Amino acid sequence: MTVAYESGLPKTAEGDPLVVVENLSRHFRLGGRTSGRVVHAVDDVSLVLPRGETLGLVGESGSGKSTLARLLLRLDRPTSGKVHFDAKDVFAVSSRELRRLRREMQIVFQDPYASLNKRKTVEQIVAFPLLVHDRKLSRKQRAARVAELLELVGLRPAHAAAYPRQLSGGQCQRVSIARALALNPSLVVLDEAVSAVDVSIQAQILNLLRDLQERFSLTYLFVTHDLAVVRYMADTIAVMYLGRIVELAPRDALFNSPKHPYTHALLSSIPPAPGVEPRTEVVLREAPVSDTLPAGCRFHPRCPLGHRSLCQTADPPLQAVGDGHTVACHFPQSAESLVAEAAQESA
């Protein structure tokens, strides 16, 4: 889906997007208010989540993915910037309006065991959002809704009386999904939602999520480090590095024609499918041990071409390189060209 940036909020081809992030930053000061280093967990991020689609957010640990997800849900407050949900600034709404927005925004965490109350039954866990937000429901109505939700996620009625310790990891994650859907949300954030379950179960959970999205027109923010998973799930993919989005593109464009050296390196680490030629490997330099961001492009200390003066002095903005494809790199190019230039300059 093409996004046109006009006056006011970004528009999609089908109308207003569900979520708009504008110049969002979250900085943490370590060591006191006036001393110590500042961690740029999220740094000037802007993006759009169209209704009914999935935005994949990928990057190494520490890139800022989970912090960005928490900001979208107002589980944390930004240093600067805005998040609009359904055209409302989530950091400026009243407490009453925020309560309404909470119904529309839900999250499924990485660890299904840690995210569920071990002292509660599955029925109590899934019914809890209804107790908080739909107090007029009778006990019978809540039980009927729980039974409906368990069926939606592929669990049996008997699971309602079980405790998390009696369930497998995959079953617990299904419970987490059922709880997230209890209030009929518009947005579901999936924070590494399948990374803690067995590989044999991952496909089942992913297929369930796709089916639920199609059935209820859900919008997903899918946070993951697994590029194979995000290729299956996402419509658009954002690649984060040290708090910034360095590449943003439709799924096929990103996988077929990535432009940022970091994206090349991530993709070349995926084992190729049988009969498919391996990608050109992009070898990165060792990550520097430093408490501060480098000058210029924050990726240049690891980039094969990072010794160039422009990379060391100027921070590249996101620039368009195709339809819906943007990259923050002074020299966006194919992996083959990148490797060839790096080899020539080091000779």
| 207 vs 34, more confident | 207
| 29 vs 169, more confident | 169
In this prediction, residue 285 carries a pLDDT of: 86
* Mean predicted confidence (pLDDT) in 217-239: 95
In this prediction, residue 11 carries a pLDDT of: 39
| 16 vs 54, more confident | 54
* Mean predicted confidence (pLDDT) in 223-245: 94
Residue 7 has pLDDT above 50, yes or no: no
* Mean predicted confidence (pLDDT) in 161-181: 95
User: Topology of domain 9-256, per CATH?
Assistant: Rossmann fold (3.40.50)
In this prediction, residue 112 carries a pLDDT of: 84
Residue 312 has pLDDT above 70, yes or no: yes
- In the chain, where are the structural domains located? 9-256, 257-347
Question: Beta-carbon neighbour count of residue 121 at 10 Å?
Answer: 17
Six token digits for residue 85: 């949900």
Whole-model pTM: value is 0.91
Residue 230 has pLDDT above 60, yes or no: yes
- For residue 347, what pLDDT band results from cuts at 50, 70 and 90? low
Residue 12 has pLDDT above 70, yes or no: no
Q: What is the pLDDT of residues 262-286, one digit of tens each?
A: 999 999 988 877 777 888 888 888 8
In this prediction, residue 34 carries a pLDDT of: 63
In this prediction, residue 32 carries a pLDDT of: 65
Angstrom distance (rounded) from CA 123 to CA 149: 10
| Exposed/middle/buried for residue 283 (C-beta within 10 Å: 0-12, 13-18, 19+) | exposed
Angstrom distance (rounded) from CA 178 to CA 150: 6
Residue 13 has pLDDT above 80, yes or no: no
- Phi and psi at residue 272, to the nearest 5°: -70, 155
In this prediction, residue 90 carries a pLDDT of: 96
Share of the chain above pLDDT 70, in %: 93
Amino acid at 73: L
In this prediction, residue 14 carries a pLDDT of: 47
Q: What is the pLDDT of residues 18-60, one digit of tens each?
A: 999 999 999 988 776 666 678 889 999 999 999 999 999 999 9
Angstrom distance (rounded) from CA 48 to CA 83: 10
Return mean pLDDT, the chain.
89
* Mean predicted confidence (pLDDT) in 235-244: 96
